Structure 1
Amino acid sequence: MAEEQVKEEGGKSGGKKKLIFILIPVILLLIGGGAGAYFFLTHKKKESTKQMVVAPQKLGVMYDLGSFLVNLADKNANTYAKVSITLELSNEKVQQEVVKRLPIIKDAVINLLSSKTYDEIRTPEGKEELRLELIKRINAILVTGGVQNIYFTQFIVQSM
């Protein structure tokens, strides 16, 4: 009877050893496969990001509109804005039209800037909204093409 117990215990430990010898390689294989897949996928994302960054963007024709110093629309405070603007135009024809219509364009810029309050244009969101409004107004003046983008090369807002 003692011999039977020894055989049974030996059989149980042998089965456990077989199970361990089978599970360890399977677990290692799963971990290795998961790690390989992770590195493969993240490496692909990095390459595609690099390709997107490398592609240069074609710029349009640049035209310096100059600097504008205006009183803002704040009623209770003396507020000023000094803004320098460069237009990105779609082509040379548009640049020629901008030169012809320069007084009208500058008037539109001054009117729009003076209608804004300090709080409306001091935030990045406010500047972006102003940029979009300027593009819309200037494009309404131009016939042969349009403004692709506006760059603020100087933007100072002061409240006294």
Structure 2
Amino acid sequence: MAKDDKTTEDAPAKGGKKKLIMIIAIALAALIGGGAGGYMIFAPKKATAEPPPTPGVVSVLDAITINLADGHYLKLKMTLQATTDAAEAPDGSKALDIAIELFSNRDQAGLLTSDGRDKAKKELVAKVVKAYTVEKKKEVMDVYFTTFVIQ
């Protein structure tokens, strides 16, 4: 009878494995077959996007002249697009300092192409927005070039 006890013990284990395999197969079939339930469970969660800032006042800054490499100069005049989170029109001194730091001793050839100028502007905007962000509130949302002359 010891043999019968062993056989009875093995039977439920095999049946349990078969049930598990069938459940997994059905779940996979539902996923592959376009089951909405599977999509709902395994779909990536959408991150809640931060709402875009609302434009506020525009601060016009004085033109500056920046030394480029090889004795060339950049005359740059820009404006800051503030947000409604800004209590007052932003002081442009930080933005001008960032622009001087960014463009000083840059190669003229890199700034003469539209791609080079766009890349430099994106870098400038990122640094300026970061500099004017206080307690996670963006006070400046964009920078506009009103004069960009290389000599």
Give the TM bin, normalised by the shorter chain: 0.5 to 0.7
Partner of residue 67, structure 1:
63
The superposition leaves residues 49-100 of structure 1 with CA deviations (integer Å, 9 ceiling, x where unpaired) of xxxxxxxxx854211122110101x2xx21100010011122261644x22x
The structure with the greater share of residues assigned to helix is: 1
The superposition leaves residues 22-69 of structure 1 with CA deviations (integer Å, 9 ceiling, x where unpaired) of xxxxxxxxxxxxxxxxxxxxxxxxxxxxxxxxxxxx854211122110
Is residue 136 from structure 1 mapped to residue 126 from structure 2 by the alignment? yes
- Residues 87 and 104 of structure 1: is their aligned pair in 2 closer, same or farther, counting only changes over 3 Å? closer
TM-score (norm 2): 0.55
RMSD after superposition: 2.1
What is the CA-CA distance between 1:149 and the residue it aligns to? 2.3
Which residue of 72, 79, 89 corresponds with 2:82? 89
Structure 2 counterpart SS, 1:93 = coil
Q: Which amino acid aligns with 1:91?
A: T
The answer to whether the 8 A contact 2:58-2:82 is kept is yes
Partner of residue 154, structure 1:
147
Q: Which amino acid aligns with 1:64?
A: V
Q: Which amino acid aligns with 1:124?
A: S
Q: Mapping of 1:1-160 within 5 angstroms?
A: 60-72=56-68, 74=69, 77-91=70-84, 93=86, 95-96=88-89, 98-99=90-91, 102-142=92-132, 143=134, 144-158=137-151
Structure 2 gaps of 5+ residues are 1-53
Sequence identity percentage: 25
- Residues 145 and 124 of structure 1: is their aligned pair in 2 closer, same or farther, counting only changes over 3 Å? same
- In 2, distance between residues paired with 1:120 and 1:107? 21
- In 2, distance between residues paired with 1:90 and 1:112? 23
Query: Larger Rg: 1 or 2?
Result: 1
Q: How many residues in Structure 1 have an aligned counterpart in Structure 2?
A: 95
* Bigger Cα displacement from structure 2, 59-68 vs 119-128: 59-68
